Structure 1
Amino acid sequence: MIYAQIMAGGIGKRMGNVPLPKQFLMLGSKPIIVHTIEKFILHTEFELILVSVPEDWISYTEDILKKHAVTDERLRVISGGAERNDTLDNALKYIEQNKALTDEDLLITHDAVRPFITRRIIEDNIKALEDYDAADTVIAAFDTIVEGKDGEVSNIPVRDLMYQGHTPQSFRINSLKESLSKLSIEKRQELSDSAKIMLLDGKKVKMVDSEVFNIKITTPYDLTIANAILENIH
């Protein structure tokens, strides 16, 4: 079976002085998270679509889904975690408690604040898992990437080998669980990228091509750009 997880566990500190976590801010006539959920509902292959939000915002999320007539029997609003990998782990536990897992089960995870995800990107992630334990959606880096430490440049990698990580990140569930089980609590908290869990366990991760408009809305500037994108696609 194929499961989706829309990750909205954070509060978005880089968005500045706003009254709501960034995933609930308005993009056009609807909250950002609603745009994203609607994209996943269109994909009929998903057995469940888990929406992971801060525990205190579960009722609010359910209310806005009703308000915007987002109804699908596969939707479940569940609690996220303190860190990204905790949010991922909570989704795995939810699936395991409600379904019998097999080696064929897949999880497609996506940032709630990337509302311009396309059907093609989702399908390419699913297809990549036919031959790999994990997939990471990326786009080639346009700018030179500079590594730095303590205010000084420490390395300038070859740009042609550099990519920017987007989402979805996708996994064979049992393989992901196996790799997660080998991490210490400290390592889980340290890792900000779920695909790296697989790499650290020696597993290969397939790159899936993203789109330049599959942006993550993190700052007020990003929200301005997102509104411009929305106007152009309507």
Structure 2
Amino acid sequence: MNKPPRHIGVILAAGRGERSGFDRPKQMMKLAGRPLVEHTLAVFQDSADIDQIIVVTNKDCQEQIQQLTANRRFSKVKAVILGGSERYQSSLAAIAATEHLARDYAVKLIFHDAVRPLVNERIIADVAQALRHYNACDVVVPTTDTIVSVDPLTNTIDFIPDRSRLRNGQTPQGFALETVKLAYERALRDPDFKTTDDCGVVLKYVPDEKIYLVTGEHDNLKLTYREELQILDKLLQMKSRQATHQPINPQVFAELKHKVLVVFGGGSGIGLDMVNLAQAHQAHVVVATRGTGVDVTDLTAVKLCLANTVAEFGRIDYVVNTAAVLTCEPLANMDYADVVRSVQINYMGAVNVALAAFDYLRQSQGQLLNFTSSSYTYGRAFYSLYSSAKAAVVNLTQALAEEWHSEGVRVNCINPERTDTPMRKRAFGVEPAGTLMSSHDVALQSLNVLLGKVTGQIFDLRRPA
């Protein structure tokens, strides 16, 4: 009788990152407020093709990862075990930890580097599909650079292979348990065995076994050097941008029913549209503006607003800060009172809202959502205070996402393209039709972000092409 398949994700997280110059193991480096290993685990947890997960790590990280899996409710993680100083020792540990399952299942091991956090569901699904027909598979992308073979004695080129036949290997790599186990049994009997990746072991020691190639993606990048952490951060932002360009499933907004949402600056523009949309989906919404007696520059007033909200509804699930002021004027021409007012509203307002909201969001495991502007990427003439404050809000968002991550509080930021709002009309007048985003569309995407699971992200919203 054929045994049912059992796909086990093996997350290899035993590296220490010493050679790369990190001050902690690479898998624990933060990306958008979360350790890399958490990003990776989240993808495998959400994959419909993964039945369970084993994490192979080192003594320094074992307790942290165990706590992380418990806090984030990664229910598929069945064990966090110790590997070895060499990669193949971690693979052997995973093989030993899963052999008992072979009595009841056709076990398929899907090995993946913890420090490849941008792996996606499509790649995992394709690996699982390949394992229906093959006992080994690798994930690869076409080689884009010319590869040269070097004579080590003369330091000159001795061969240039045909690039059309070359691929860059990635992970995951998938295997039938009995295949990879056999390969390692033979490898360990070889006195000249040298450490390589798992596909290399199968290729050398089970040469009759065909290794199928699954197409990977160039953004499935492995963190090796410090500067690549910044690249991963930008790639993650690009993925977030792509996600916000996808059609929104209207059913997702049913989750707003009976949720408690406080919107600072909710009297006009994007904030008002968020209020109306959330109320239409039966959320309890509190509008906090100067018109309702709440000035974001007054920490006492902000605290009182949130306290009154909890007194009425029992909790706060989401806090949104859209309050802002835009003055188009050279800094040297501005009255100092207007300078102070701009900084107080655009930056200290965000700080005050964050300070007052933290304890409530910690209790609800909720989210703080800030707003920035496309001008945050570089200072703009005539609104230097606005653009510099919005850059500060981005940094505040990313910092708080890291600080509050262990408490289960998500912090994100919306960066909309130029948007048709009353504030923009006051600053720039009437602009050509069709050149601005609608505040309604921005509000829809912003509510969609509130209902998501990510943290530490800057969501770039753009008009449809």
How far, CA to CA, are the matches of 2:59 and 2:79 in structure 1?
13
Does 1:2 pair with 2:7?
Answer: yes
**For 2:75 and 2:110, how far apart are their aligned partners in 1?**
18
Which residue in 1 is equivalent to 2:425? Answer: none
**Is 2:31 the partner of 1:27?**
yes
- Paired amino acid for 1:177: K
Deviations 1:175-234 (A, max 9, x none): 11112211136455x132110122112111001000111000111121110010112222
Aligned residue for 2:147?
145
Length, aligned pairs only: 230
Name the structure 2 match of 1:208.
214
Are 1:224 and 2:235 matched, yes or no?
no
Deviations 1:160-185 (A, max 9, x none): 11100000000011111112211136
Where do 1:1-234 residues align within 5 Å?
A: 1-16=6-21, 18-67=22-71, 69-97=72-100, 99-101=101-103, 104-150=106-152, 151-183=155-187, 184=189, 186-188=191-193, 190-200=194-204, 201-202=206-207, 203-234=209-240
Deviates more, 1:123-132 or 1:137-146: 123-132
Note the residue ranges of structure 1 that are not aligned, 5 or more in a row: none
- 1:198·1:204 contact (CA, 8 Å) conserved in 2? no
C-alpha change, 1:185 and 1:50, in structure 2 (3 Å) is farther
What is the one-letter code of the residue matched to 1:195?
C
Ranked by relative contact order (alpha carbons within 8 Å, sequence separation 6 or more), the top structure is 1
Cα deviation per residue 1:120-174 (whole Å; 9 max; x = unaligned)? 1001111111221100000000000112242332321111111000000000111
Q: TM-score scaled to structure 1, two decimals?
A: 0.91
Larger radius of gyration: 2
Q: CA 1:221/1:70 → structure 2, altered by over 3 Å: closer, same or farther?
A: farther
State the Cα RMSD in Å. 1.8
Higher helix share: 2
1:4 maps to amino acid: G
Deviation at 1:66, TM superposition (A): 4.1
* Whole-Å separation in 2 of the counterparts to 1:136 and 1:102: 26
Q: What is the TM-score normalised by the length of structure 2?
A: 0.47
Q: Secondary structure at the match of 1:148?
A: strand
Q: Secondary structure at the match of 2:43?
A: helix
Identify, as 1 or 2, the structure richer in strand.
1
8 Å CA contact 2:54, 2:80 repeated in 1? yes
- 1:65 deviates by 3.5
Alpha-carbon deviations, 1:12-62, whole Å to 9, x = none? 23421x321111000011011100000000023433201111133211222
Question: Which deviates further from its counterpart, 76-85 or 87-96?
Answer: 76-85
Alpha-carbon distance between aligned partners in 2 of 1:191 and 1:8, rounded to the nearest angstrom: 17
Identity %, equivalent residues: 30
Which consecutive residues of structure 2, in runs of 5 or more, have no partner in the other structure?
1-5, 241-465
Give the letter for the 1:72 counterpart.
S
